[in-house]
Structure 1
Amino acid sequence: MTFIPFFILLFCAVPIALVLALTSLWYIWTSGNAVLFDSYPQQLFSAIDSYGLMAIPLFMLAGELMNEGGLTSRLINMSRILVGGFRGGLAYINLVANMMMAAIMGSAASQIAIMSRAMVPAMEKEGYDSAYAAAITAAGGLLSPIIPPSMLFVLYGVLAQVPIAEMFIAGILPGIIMSFLFFLVIAVIGLVQQYPKGEWPSRKQSVEFFLMGLPAGLIPVVIIGGILTGLATPTESAALASLGALLIGKYVYKDLELNHLPEILKRTALNSGMVVMLISAAGVFGWVVVYEQLPQAAAGWIAQQTSDPFTFLLMVIGVLILIGMVLDGIAALILVVPILLPIAQQQFGISPYQFGVVVCLTLVMGLLTPPVGAGLFIGSSMTGVPPMKIFRSLMPFLFATLVTLVLLAAIPELVTALI
């Protein structure tokens, strides 16, 4: 009975945070156990009572400051040194720049919005199909949940009670694998479509791009280096990245105006506030799910279907692709982890790191798949290309992502080797 009001509210387009909070209240009311009302505020607060969650608004702030301060454009120019001369050079530049931004922002939606503004017009000027340009930019957003830092990894670490720093490390090899597959896709499409050969920057330009991009390139070094060496927690690294982006944008590149800070902070507060509200409401919903013993019931059903960890993960991938098509990735993560993680660990002996990487990457695919596909609509609004045209051009990249997921499900060491 609990899920009847859940689906009614969901399909009435009620914000997902309210759907979760109201459904939980409905369960308490219909259970007849009025004592649970006393626990409701406590569960709302305890869901967000985590130091690790402070990393989310700080990474959002770092991304906003980088975009306003001109760091993004310098990173794009820096990537020209590495891949600018290949056939379809701007496509490679787009992907490399997205990899750099993924190591800073951690938010797929923000990354797609920023990189669409930065890259798609430039690709269109050089004769690239606008849908293809938008698709590469959207595909770059798929790198954000696994190349550290990642907001989904932060949230998963809190939900699964595993060290966030180790979750970040677990995403390094999968991020490299998926980037390599994306490069192959771009190479094949470039040959088939005969996109123009890029031009390598001259030696003078290369030196200029490198020196100008070096300060911006220090941001991901600070974030990842601090975490890997243990000198800083993910939250502290996010704070250092925000401070670094502010100082570099203001005093090195001199593109950041201090009078823009109130608007930047306002956008960051609104965006992170929505995420925190969602986490709080979902914490109560997760409490209801556990109280109704849904994980145990799901475990019993799955145990009847298979006893093989690889098959179980393939089932999870299939289910989460469907869930991701209709629910936001953060909301879906909060819903499925309390149900599926205990089954993965206790029934199948799957590492929480392997499970987390597979789940987070699968759910972000939903950002780029109809009918909801928020990433498609963000890319469309930024470029003017219809969402379904972007989706059709995006399909080779989604297939490469599926190949990555199958590899990660079959070979746990691809996730756990560096931990």
Structure 2
Amino acid sequence: MTSAVLSPGMAALVLFGTFFALLALRVPVAFSLGLACLPVLVIEPRLSPMTLFNETFKAYNSFVLLAVPFFLLTANLMSIGGITDRLVRLSRVMVGSLPGALAQINVVVSVFFAGISGSSTADAASQSKIFIDAQTKEGYDLSFSIAITAVSAVLAVIIPPSILMVVWGGVISTSIGALYLAGVIPGLLIAGAQMATVHVYAVRRGYPVYPRATLREFVLSMIASIPALTTPVIIVGGILLGWFTPTESAAVAVIYAALLSIFIYREMDWPRLVTALADTGRLAALALFCVGTASVFGWLLAYYQIPRALLENVSDWGMGPIGVGMFIAGAFLVVGCFLDAIPAIIIVGTTLQPLAASVQMHPIQFAIIGIVSLAFGLVTPPYGLCLMIACAVAKVRLRFALKDTMVMLVPMLLVLIGLIVWPEIALFLPRLLAPEMVK
């Protein structure tokens, strides 16, 4: 580093300036990250443009990242194999009698879906097709229907199993099993906040309510859904008991979802399986390409010691754990508006880790604050991938549903602040069920 041509400040200016300039030109994020590295690699004599390819492919040499396509495939198998339909029926008998019944069902299905798939984009795609048109036909406002579908989809990255938790654990060396446990209570709190928001909307706008389900209907729906609801128990329980690693648990989830779809629910056929595999390949390629180019970007940040330079002044502010937590959440909230969550973890997570450690913030709490903050970016422009998907299904522009979406994010923001102020919200379950993972 002593013989580097560029100073940390100049390197940061070139990297981030080029990256945001490319984003402004509407170059896809993954390509922007890679292309932003090229000027630095050309200018620096000790480096070479070949570093871009070497570090990109080195990032793929990770057993943990195999979980990403497996969880995406699980989500797609759920959609084609009748699993999602059973979860919708169970949700209807559970909360159909509440104000805004179909929107409440939307949230509860997202909770169940999150416990199996780990992918918010897959959730947004499948739930949008199921709920947006159905809600508008029952008298719900289209903007509200889009907003609640997109916002509830973010639960998939918070409630275990979560692709973001797998990536975080692999990049920042944090116990993935502990992260899975830590996401349960925050995820349920956010789901509760979303249901409360739906209740307020429904009462004010007179949204319809379904008749209360009978005990027999509830029992029959529960019996039909038990095989599907067993999936998160197998995934998380298997990791905690040491039966398999997070990546192996994702593979088990695929096998289990396939067995349910073929032999129990008997709704999977060959053409639909081919479609699911093709969709998985496209989504996985996009996600993993982001991982590769973001890894090169992060490698250059480390090479020039840019994180240390950025945090030197911040460390002098004398912030305590709560102040640092707010700063970390703010950084992820801003970055999440422009960047996909996976590269954001690789770049911003590794940058902020020393700051969190400087105030003795537990790595699990740091991870959950980061992941929940990044979940906002899935529905906030200009990135807002889940909101984009929901708007695309509804065939409207993104700004059409923006007001209702922002309203629904306020209760989520209160939960995020609670995570910062009370660390035990995230740490309670890991300390109770797997204390050896949080030491």
Q: Structure 1: how far apart are the matches of 2:124 and 2:53?
A: 36
Q: CA deviation at 1:160?
A: 0.6
**Superimposed CA distance per residue, residues 94-141 of structure 1 (whole angstroms, 9 cap, x where no aligned partner):** 111110001112111211111111122222232222221221111111
With the length of structure 2 as denominator, give the TM-score of the two structures: 0.90
Q: Name the counterpart of 2:82.
A: 70
Hey, what's the Cα distance between the residues in 2 that align with 1:66 and 1:222? 16
1:363 to 374, 385, 399: 374
In 2, distance between residues paired with 1:102 and 1:31? 44
Segments of 5+ residues of structure 1 without an aligned counterpart are: none
Q: Which residue of 1 aligns with 2:434?
A: none
Give 1:355 deviation, angstroms.
Answer: 1.1
Instruction: Work out the CA distance in 1 between the residues paired with 2:396 and 2:50.
Output: 50
1:258-296 deviations in Å (ceiling 9; x for gaps): 233223212212211221121112112111101111111
Matches within 5 A, 1:212-361: 212-345=224-357, 347-361=358-372
Seq. identity, %: 33
Q: Does 1:405 align with 2:420?
A: no
Per mean C-alpha deviation after superposition, the further-off stretch among 219-228 and 261-270 is: 219-228
Q: Distance in 2 between matches of 1:324 and 1:118?
A: 27
State whether structure 2 residue 156 is matched by structure 1 residue 144: yes
Residue pairs, 1:29-178, within 5 angstroms:
29-34=42-47, 40-178=52-190
Number of equivalences? 417
Query: Does the residue aligned with 2:38 lie in a helix, a strand or coil?
Result: helix
195 and 16 in structure 1: CA distance in 2 versus 1, 3 angstrom threshold = closer
Of stretches 188-197 and 149-158 in structure 1, the one that deviates more from structure 2 is 188-197
TM-score by length of 1: 0.94
Q: Which residue of 1 aligns with 2:39?
A: 26
Kept in 2, the 8 Å contact 1:250–1:256? The answer is: yes
Q: Which amino acid aligns with 1:198?
A: Y
Deviation at 1:41, TM superposition (A): 4.5
Retained in 2: the 8 A contact 1:160–1:352?
no
CA RMSD of aligned residues (A): 1.9
**Could you tell me which amino acid in structure 1 is paired with residue 204 of structure 2?**
V
Deviation larger for 169-178 or 62-71? 169-178
Match of 2:220 among 202, 208, 222: 208
Kindly provide the amino acid, as one letter, of the partner of residue 358 in structure 1.
I
> C-alpha separation between the residues in 2 aligned to 1:307 and 1:210?
49
When structure 1 is superposed on structure 2, of 231-240 and 399-408 the one drifting more is: 231-240
Q: Which amino acid aligns with 1:90?
A: L
**8 Å contact from structure 2 (residues 315, 355) kept in 1:** no
Counterparts of 1:166-205 in structure 2, within 5 Å, are 166-205=178-217
The answer to whether the 8 Å contact 2:169/2:175 transfers is: yes
Q: CA deviation at 1:150?
A: 0.8
In structure 2, C-alpha distance between the alignment counterparts of 1:181 and 1:101, rounded to whole Å: 18
SS at 2:157 equivalent? coil
Alpha carbons 1:80, 1:200 under 8 Å: kept:
no
Shift of 1:210: 2.4
Deviations 1:325-372 (A, max 9, x none): 222222222220121112211x22111211111111112211211233
Q: Conserved in 2, the CA contact under 8 Å of 1:130 and 1:385?
A: no
* SS of structure 1 residue aligned to 2:139: coil
